[in-house]
Amino acid sequence: MNMGNEIRVDGVLYRPQRRKCGKAGCYCSNGGDGHGPYWYAYDGKSGGKYVGKNLPEQITARAALIKANAAKLKTIKGQIVKRRDDAQKIVWNSDKELRTVEALEAGEYADSKMLVKLGLEKFNGHSSG
C-alpha cells in the first residue's frame, strides 16, 4: 500500500502523517520532516486517531477490493441511476396526467395534448373520443 495516499473505507479517512516528537535535539525539531509516516483515522466526529505504522490488513484488503472492482461498481451505479431517472420520469408524467384529470374535474383549463394522450379529446372540443 502506498504510504503517500489517503484511503477512505466505511466512512473513515485513513491518512499517513509525519509527527514531531518535541524532544530537544531530535532531528525532527531541527527542521526535519518528523517521524513516520504513521496512519491516523478520521471519522469526521473527532480528531485523528492513531492507527499505527501500517494499516490493519482488513483496511488494506477492503481498499484493494474497492479499487479492483471500481469498473463494476461504476457500471452498477450507472444502471441504478438510469432506473431511478426512468422512474422519476414516470412519476413526473403521472403527476402531469393526474393534474390534467383533476383540472377537468374542477372545471379548469386542461392541456389539449394531454387530453388527447389520455383519450379525453371530447373534453376539449375534439370530434373523436
**Which single residue is written with the C-alpha cell 395534448?**
113
Task: State how beta strands 49-52 and 12-19 pair.
Answer: unpaired
Q: Are 122 and 129 contacting, i.e. CB atoms less than 8 angstroms apart?
A: yes
| Cell output for 28 | 525532527
Specify the pLDDT at position 21: 87
What does the pLDDT look like over 86-126, one tens digit per residue?
A: 999 999 999 999 999 999 999 998 989 999 999 998 887 65
Rg (CA), the chain: 30
Contacts for 93 with CB less than 8 Å, ≥ 6 apart: none
pTM exceeding the 0.85 threshold for the entire prediction: no
